[in-house]
Structure 1
Amino acid sequence: MRTPVVMTLGMVLVPCGLLLNLTGTLTPGWRMVKGFLDQPVDVVLYQGLWDMCREQSSRDRQCAQWDEYKYFAANLVLLARALTVTSLATTALGLLLATIGVRCWQDIPHFVLAGISGFVLFASGLLSLIPVSWYNHFLADRDVLPAAPSPVTVEVGYSLVLVYLGSCLLLVGGFSLALSLAPWCEERCSRGRKAPASTVRRNSISTVYVDWPEPELTPAIKYYSGGLHRPRPAEHGATGKTKVGFPMPRPPPKAYTNPVDVLDGEKGASSHGMSSRSTQLCLSLPPCDSDL
């Protein structure tokens, strides 16, 4: 049996979402802070969930920077850490269930297990989408996410975009795998709707034979036989069923005729020793040997 399309789509999108979420969670690029007054203009500070890096002119990059404004102690950052790690663990569990359910080594997939894995993966996508959306909403709020005061500006980092895309892929892949429950649900519903044996409806008739009446023939054909017109049944009192058709005339019976009288001269002859009885017998039969 070929793998259904919903299973194939889910097995393609889920690993991609897991890779994007893992990359976005570990990299320090959730927020970019730049425009410091006491530092060069090209200095950019990348803030993530686990690390903070300082980059200048895309050449010099230094990580494990000192957290001056207690950024990692913010409640939103701590909650985002917990939700993203939980999402990664849930994604790994759902992918394991999907691998067993979709079966790369069996002929028939396990629809129930594949459907359950779809719900698990959909939940993991929600767990990663919630912190991303929440973080993006309070991105520039310095009371929720501490940062240096103005004129320092904050912008969205690349890690936030990666986690957002990974969450969407997990949602779509999980929903696609959850559709694997459709054949199982259809089978269960058909069992519940099955009627009792006494009320089972019989199959409809596939072939119907209709005895159509034969068309009435014209008198010229119906009452013509032997080259002569015959009277209708009503004329000669016939009450039975009349024959329908056009009978062919019968040929006359075959008879032997001999135009030459081969016995001429033998009727009165007595020298041949033939009696009158023999002569009469020979005349009444087909030609005698003497004719040949």
Structure 2
Amino acid sequence: MRTPVVMIIGLVLAPCGFLLSLIATFSPDWRELRSVSGAPVDEIIQQGIWDVCIASDISSSITCGQSDTTYFSQQVITVARGLMLTSLLVMAGGIVMASLGVRCWQENPNWLIAGLSGILIFISGVLSLIPVAYYTNLLSNITTTFTAGKFQVGYSIVIGYISSCFELIGGAFLILCLFHLCKRRNEKQANSFYNKYYRESSPKSRIRTIDVPDMTWEHRRSPSFGIEDFSQPPNRQTPREFVSTDFTRNEPCDADL
């Protein structure tokens, strides 16, 4: 049996979403601060949920490990950390369960396990979408020790949205396995009910029995009962011998010679 399309789409999008979500979680570019006071014009402050880095538009050098206690003490950062880590754990469990449910090395997949894995992957997408949307909504309101004149969304937010979409779509396709399983069970129950109803409702009069007479020697037709008695075999007349009665011709014939 070929792998169903819904399972193929789910198995392709789920690992892609997991990888992108992993990058979005640990990359230090959820927000970019530009025009920072007391800093060069080309300097950019990149803030993530785990680290803060200083980059430049001119050079490719990045200096991470900057301290910003005011930024990391915000509630949105704590919530984003917890939800993103939870999303990664749930996503990993969903991918493992999906691999066990599809089981490409066997003839038939397990629709139930594949559908349950879709639920986990879909929940993971929701868990990763909440902190990304929450952080984007409070982008310019998150306090920090740096004084900047311009706030921009970093590439981590964009990757987070893409990973959430992949997880939601992949989980939704795998959830369709549950609907397929329910459809098969309903068809099976309907067929069994129909067969049971047909067996119970069919009248016995539909089955016609025909009495076949016993054509043996014990029964023969008789004038009284219309049955013939075969207990005795019929009398057959033995052929009579031909005896010549012509005694007048005693002369030898040509055949006698």
Instruction: Give the TM-score, by structure 2 length.
Output: 0.73
Q: Distance between the aligned counterparts of 1:45 and 1:151, measured in 2?
A: 9
Partner of 1:16: 16
- Cα deviation for residue 93 of structure 1 reads 0.1
Partner of 1:146: 143
- Cα deviation for residue 199 of structure 1 reads 4.2
Q: Distance between the aligned counterparts of 1:90 and 1:99, measured in 2?
A: 14
From 149, 165, 184, the counterpart of 1:187: 184
- Cα deviation for residue 45 of structure 1 reads 0.3
- Cα deviation for residue 149 of structure 1 reads 7.4
Q: Distance between the aligned counterparts of 1:110 and 1:61, measured in 2?
A: 48
- Partner of 1:146, secondary structure, is coil
1:158 equivalent to 2:155? Answer: yes
Q: Distance between the aligned counterparts of 1:6 and 1:147, measured in 2?
A: 45
Is 2:31–2:48's contact at 8 Å kept on the other side of the alignment? Answer: yes
Partner of 2:36: 36
Unpaired stretches in structure 1, ≥5 consecutive residues: 203-292
Partner of 2:63: 62
Q: Distance between the aligned counterparts of 2:90 and 2:197, measured in 1?
A: 50
- Bigger shift: 184-193 or 156-165? 184-193
1:173 equivalent to 2:167? Answer: no
- Cα deviation for residue 61 of structure 1 reads 1.2
Q: Distance between the aligned counterparts of 1:175 and 1:25, measured in 2?
A: 23
Partner of 1:210: none
- Kindly tell me: are residues 79 and 112 of structure 1, through their superposed partners in 2, closer, same or farther at Cα, counting changes over 3 Å? same
Deviations 1:128-168 (A, max 9, x none): 00100111011011xxx113676521100001110110000
Is 2:55–2:63's contact at 8 Å kept on the other side of the alignment? Answer: yes
Deviations 1:28-70 (A, max 9, x none): 01000110121110000000010000012233311001216x1
- Bigger shift: 59-68 or 120-129? 59-68
Partner of 2:127: 127
The letter of the residue matching 1:155 is Q
- Cα deviation for residue 195 of structure 1 reads 3.2
Q: Distance between the aligned counterparts of 2:197 and 2:35, measured in 1?
A: 84
- Kindly tell me: are residues 151 and 45 of structure 1, through their superposed partners in 2, closer, same or farther at Cα, counting changes over 3 Å? closer
Count residues with an aligned counterpart.
198
Is 2:87–2:124's contact at 8 Å kept on the other side of the alignment? Answer: yes
- Partner of 1:160, secondary structure, is helix
Is 2:97–2:117's contact at 8 Å kept on the other side of the alignment? Answer: yes
- Cα deviation for residue 4 of structure 1 reads 0.3
Superposed, 1:206-245 pairs within 5 Å as none
- Partner of 1:71, secondary structure, is helix
- Partner of 2:71, secondary structure, is coil
- Cα deviation for residue 190 of structure 1 reads 2.2
Partner of 1:116: 116
Greater Rg, structure 1 or structure 2?
A: 1
RMSD: 1.8
- Partner of 1:195, secondary structure, is helix
Partner of 1:71: 71
- Partner of 2:21, secondary structure, is helix
- Kindly tell me: are residues 32 and 18 of structure 1, through their superposed partners in 2, closer, same or farther at Cα, counting changes over 3 Å? same
Instruction: Give the TM-score, by structure 1 length.
Output: 0.64
- Partner of 2:41, secondary structure, is coil
Report percent identity of matched pairs: 41
The letter of the residue matching 1:18 is F
- Cα deviation for residue 82 of structure 1 reads 0.1
- Kindly tell me: are residues 95 and 199 of structure 1, through their superposed partners in 2, closer, same or farther at Cα, counting changes over 3 Å? same
- Partner of 1:23, secondary structure, is helix
- Cα deviation for residue 78 of structure 1 reads 0.2
- Cα deviation for residue 191 of structure 1 reads 3.7
The letter of the residue matching 2:152 is E
Q: Distance between the aligned counterparts of 1:83 and 1:198, measured in 2?
A: 54
Partner of 2:52: 52
Q: Distance between the aligned counterparts of 1:58 and 1:147, measured in 2?
A: 25
Deviations 1:79-100 (A, max 9, x none): 0000000000000000000000
- Cα deviation for residue 75 of structure 1 reads 0.4
